[in-house]
């Protein structure tokens, strides 16, 4: 680490990128949209937490989780349980046969609050549950899987099954979870009406701020040695293992972190949208969240945010005008992003827009939001390139020779999959 101290926490481009995003999220969007649309963007941003987690987990760690919706849902449900208990005080639920319990429990002939709902009356407990419960769950899955060296496709299938199990469970246990409808009709947070316009604006800013904290945390991880180990592990797991690292622990860590991000996103979702339902937990939403990340560029932290916003915005536009076309567009997007643009928007930005930007932007270094790994021979270059070390890549290397980038692109894609590198 010592001799690498010349790598900065953020390159000039990255600083520019973060400032740009901050301006867009905190100034341009709130000033130009009405509260309804702002709330919608806020909802999209909650998915960006998941996409961000996937960039770390899938893009950097090479672990594709198709069960991120589970963590999103767990976080969201923890928040919703607190809000629901607050909304169902004995006074406002006195028409029920058992006042003081959530309405859907009353409809399902449950006469007593289940014991595991009880602690969610306290906000501190609910808040810590939002963060800790999904992380703990991810930890258990991670330990069980990664310690046994299960990875790649198997991990994807098993996380997907977990998402399926979770949905069936939530829908089946209607009396305790609200079933298909989920937990609805949430009103206040400690007496503060979350449905009012001003609350929606404030929650939007809280959500953006939380997203920035997560972004900076991810940036920090990427810049630390941990980030390099993740990349190395993704590309050549055996070599990292032979170097004496316990690969499983790093995988568990990054998986837990992505689960935590998703859970925070889920909680923010509940606050802004005012309900939580199993339709955000299952297989379909979980895999859609992967596409947000893929569209933005699976190696780009900022790209995850833009990708999420773009896909969801397109989804809203399509659903409003041609609802029947949306699934076609979504399907085509999945195929296109995999076959034609494996590095998503970030690579397009890097290839077509960045070279046109003025010199002050690029400075003397050539660091990217979406590092394109150029030559794959050694782990060291892979590291350095992925992290954009200024020593190893000159500014001219990929800018002056776009054809190089084009020809080596397929190599990059092969290397993206953790543990399945084929010699």
Of 231 and 416, nearer to another protein (C-beta) is 416
Query: Which span sits near another protein by CB under 8 A: 40-48, 99-107, 385-393, 408-416?
Result: 408-416
For residue 62, the minimal CB distance to another protein (Å) is: 9
* Piece of the chain touching another protein by CB under 8 A; list 5-13, 103-111, 155-163, 363-371: 155-163
Please report whether residue 413 would count as binding another protein according to CB under 8 A: yes
Distance in Å, CB of 61 to another protein, minimum = 12
Binding residues among 159-178 for another protein as defined by CB under 8 A: 160-162, 164-165, 168-169, 171-172
CB of 119 to another protein, least distance (A): 24
**Taking CB under 8 A as the rule, does residue 248 contact another protein?**
no
CA distance 99 to 107: 12
In the complex with another protein, the residue whose CB is nearer, 24 or 330, is 330
**Residues contacting 63, CB < 8 A, separation 6+:** 57, 151, 155, 251, 254, 255, 418
Question: What tokens were used for 151?
Answer: 């990875």
- Rule CB under 8 A: say whether 144 interacts with another protein: yes
Give me the least distance between CB of 260 and another protein, in Å please: 21
DSSP for 176-237, please give it: HH-GGG-B----EETTEETTSHHHHHHHHHHHHHHHHHHHHHHHHHHHSHHHHHHHHHHH-H
Give the residue from 309, 290, 296 showing the smallest Cα distance to 369: 296
- Rule CB under 8 A: is residue 180 a binding residue for another protein? no
Cβ proximity to another protein, 39 vs 159, nearer residue: 159
Nearer to another protein, 160 or 398 (CB): 160
Q: What is the rounded CA–CA span in Å between residue 276 and residue 185?
A: 10
123: left (phi over 0), alpha (psi -120 to 50) or beta: alpha
DSSP sequence for 21-83 = HHHIIIIIHHHHS-HHHHHHHHHHHHHHHHHHHHIIIIIIT----S-HHHHHHHHHHHHHHHH
Site for another protein in 303-362 (CB under 8 A): 324, 327-328, 330-335, 337-339, 342
Q: How would you class 4 by CB atoms within 10 Å of its CB: exposed for 0-12, middle for 13-18, buried for 19 or more?
A: middle
- Provide the mask over 281-300, with x wherever binding to another protein is found by CB under 8 A and - wherever it is not: --xx--x--xx--x------
If we measure between CA atoms, which residue out of 386, 405, 395, 361 comes closest to residue 14? 361
Inter-residue contact 101 to 226 (CB < 8 Å):
no
- Contact between 64 and another protein per CB under 8 A: yes
Interface residues with another protein (CB under 8 A)?
Answer: 58, 64, 66, 144-145, 148-150, 152-154, 156-158, 160-162, 164-165, 168-169, 171-172, 283-284, 287, 290-291, 294, 324, 327-328, 330-335, 337-339, 342, 413-414, 416-417, 420, 422
């Amino acid at each position: 680490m010592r001799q690498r101290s010349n790598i900065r926490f953020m390159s000039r481009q990255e600083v520019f990128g973060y400032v740009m995003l901050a301006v867009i999220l905190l100034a341009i969007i709130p000033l130009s949209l009405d509260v309804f649309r702002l709330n919608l963007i806020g909802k999209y941003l909650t998915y960006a937490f998941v996409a961000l987690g996937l960039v770390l987990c899938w893009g950097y760690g090479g672990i594709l989780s198709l069960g991120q919706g589970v963590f999103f849902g767990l976080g969201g449900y923890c928040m919703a349980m607190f809000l629901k208990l607050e909304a169902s005080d004995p006074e406002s639920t006195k028409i029920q046969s058992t006042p003081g319990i959530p309405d859907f429990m009353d409809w399902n002939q449950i006469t007593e609050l289940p014991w595991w709902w009880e602690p969610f009356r306290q906000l501190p407990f609910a808040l810590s549950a939002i963060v800790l419960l999904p992380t703990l769950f991810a930890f258990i899955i991670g330990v069980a899987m990664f310690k046994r060296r299960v990875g790649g496709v198997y991990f994807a299938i098993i996380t997907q099954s977990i998402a399926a199990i979770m949905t069936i469970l939530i829908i089946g246990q209607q009396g305790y979870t609200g079933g298909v409808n989920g937990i609805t009709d949430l009103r206040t947070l400690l007496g503060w009406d979350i449905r009012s316009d001003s609350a929606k604006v404030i929650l939007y800013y809280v959500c953006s701020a939380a997203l920035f904290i997560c972004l900076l945390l991810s940036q920090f991880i990427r810049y630390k040695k941990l980030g390099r180990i993740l990349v190395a592990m993704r590309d050549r797991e055996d070599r990292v293992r032979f170097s004496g690292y316990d690969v499983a622990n790093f995988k568990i860590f990054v998986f837990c972190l992505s689960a935590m991000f998703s859970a925070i996103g889920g909680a923010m979702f509940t606050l802004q949208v005012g309900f939580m339902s199993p339709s955000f937990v299952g297989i379909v939403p979980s895999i859609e969240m992967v596409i947000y990340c893929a569209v933005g560029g699976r190696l780009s932290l900022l790209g995850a945010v833009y990708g999420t916003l773009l896909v969801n915005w397109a989804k809203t536009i399509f659903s409003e005008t041609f609802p029947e076309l949306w699934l076609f567009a979504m399907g085509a997007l999945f195929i296109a992003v995999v076959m034609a643009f494996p590095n998503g928007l970030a690579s397009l930005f890097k290839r077509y827009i960045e070279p046109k930007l003025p010199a002050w932007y690029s400075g003397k270094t050539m660091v990217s939001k979406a590092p394109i790994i150029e030559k794959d021979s050694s782990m060291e270059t892979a590291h350095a390139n992925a992290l954009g070390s200024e020593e190893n890549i000159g500014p001219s290397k990929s800018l002056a020779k776009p054809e190089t980038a084009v020809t080596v692109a397929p190599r990059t894609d092969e290397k993206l999959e953790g543990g399945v590198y084929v010699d």
